[in-house]
Amino acid sequence: MPDNPLPEVVALGETMALVAPALAEPLETADEFRVDSAGAEANVAAHLAALGRRAAWAGRLGDDALGRRVARHLRDRGVDTRWVETDDEAPTGVYFKDPGRGVRYYRAGSAASRMTPSFLDGLPLDSARVVHVSGITPALSASCDDLVDALVGRIADSPALLSFDVNHRSALWQAGVAAGRLRELASRADLVFVGLDEAEALWGTETPEAVRALLPEPALLIVKDGAIAATEFRDGADSAPTRVPARSVEVVEAVGAGDAFAAGYLASLLNGGDASERLAAGHARAVTVLGDTADFPRAETTTRSTR
C-alpha cells in the first residue's frame, strides 16, 4: 500500500470552531468553555476514521488560530486534511453551543462561505467510493451553492456514490426557500439521509413513504425518525423498504446524532452490510457518542437536535 493512500470517503463542507460551556451552563453566564471543532461533513469524516475507514474532509479555513486548531483537531482524529485550503482574507467560522437553547452561528462571510466550484480542482473524487455533502453548504453563499451544484454534476460521471444529508438549517435559510433546492439536490444524489421532522418542515411529508414518493430518484433513501426508527428505501428488485427501530437510550446532548448515524451507515455500506445491518450500524454509532466529534466513543447515550 502506498504511504498516503487516497481516501475512500471525501466529505466536503464547512467546519467551524465550536465554543461550548464546559459545564452545560447557559452561554450568557458560563465561566468555563471548551473549544472544539464542528461541521456536519467533518463530523462524518471523523466518525468514519474512528470506524477504521480512510476519510478526508475537504473545505476552507481561515489563516488564523481557530483554523489551525480545527485542522489539527481533525488530523488528531485520523481525518485526512490534505485537501483543506486556507483563506488569508476571511476567518474560520465560529459556532457557540447554548445548552438547552440551541446553537449560535458566527459564520457569515467565513472562509468556507467563499468556496467556489474551482474548489473541486484537484480533489480525489474519482478514486473515492463515497463523496459526502450536506444541505448546509448550499445555504452558506451563492458560490457555495454553485460548488455543490458542480460537485453533484461531477459525481454523476464518476464511479463514486454521492451521499447527501439534507441537514436543513433554519438559522441559515427558511424552509420555504430551502425546500425546492434541497429536494432538487437530493433527487440527484445516489444516497440521501433525511430526518422525518425536517422532511415535514420542508416538504410537508408526514411518513417515510410520503418522503419516498417525493424523492423516488435516489438509489438509497434513509428516512430517520429520531428515537423511533430509520427506514431505508432502495431501487431494484429487492425494493421493499427496511425499517430498523432506534435504540432505547437516555438523551443527554443536543447536536451530532445525525452525523454519527450517517457515518455508521456509510461504514457498514463500505463493509458490504445489508440494509438491516446498515441501519443498525447508524443507530449504534448515533448512541455511542456525545455530540459532534468531541471525545468519542462514549457510553450509551445519544443526542437530539434542538434546532
Ligand X SMILES: O=C(O)C(=O)C[C@H](O)[C@H](O)COP(=O)(O)O
Contact residues for ligand ADP (CB under 6 A)?
Answer: 195, 224, 226-227, 230, 246-247, 249, 251, 257-258, 261, 282-283, 286-287, 302, 304-305
Query: In this structure, what C-alpha cell is assigned to residue 280?
Result: 443498525
Contacts with ligand X by CB under 6 A lie at 38-40, 43, 95, 136, 167, 169, 255-259, 292, 305
**Of residues 76 and 300, the one with the C-beta less far from ligand ADP:** 300
Span between the terminal Cα atoms of the chain, in Å: 43
Query: In this structure, what C-alpha cell is assigned to residue 112?
Result: 468556507
Minimum gap (Å) between residue 17 Cβ and ligand ADP: 20
Length of the chain: 307
Q: What CA–CA distance (Å, rounded) separates 298 from 157?
A: 39
Minimum gap (Å) between residue 282 Cβ and ligand ADP: 6
Minimum gap (Å) between residue 127 Cβ and ligand X: 26
Minimum gap (Å) between residue 275 Cβ and ligand X: 21
Q: Read off the DSSP letter of residue 288.
A: B
**Of residues 72 and 104, the one with the C-beta less far from ligand ADP:** 104
**Of residues 127 and 305, the one with the C-beta less far from ligand X:** 305
Catalytic one of 259, 274, 292, 295: 259
Question: Residue 257: CB partners within 8 Å, gap ≥ 6?
Answer: 286, 287, 289, 302, 303, 304, 305
Q: Answer yes or no: 292 catalytic.
A: no
Q: What CA–CA distance (Å, rounded) separates 184 from 205?
A: 16
In one-letter notation, the amino acid at residue 76 is D
Query: Which residues carry out catalysis?
Result: 259
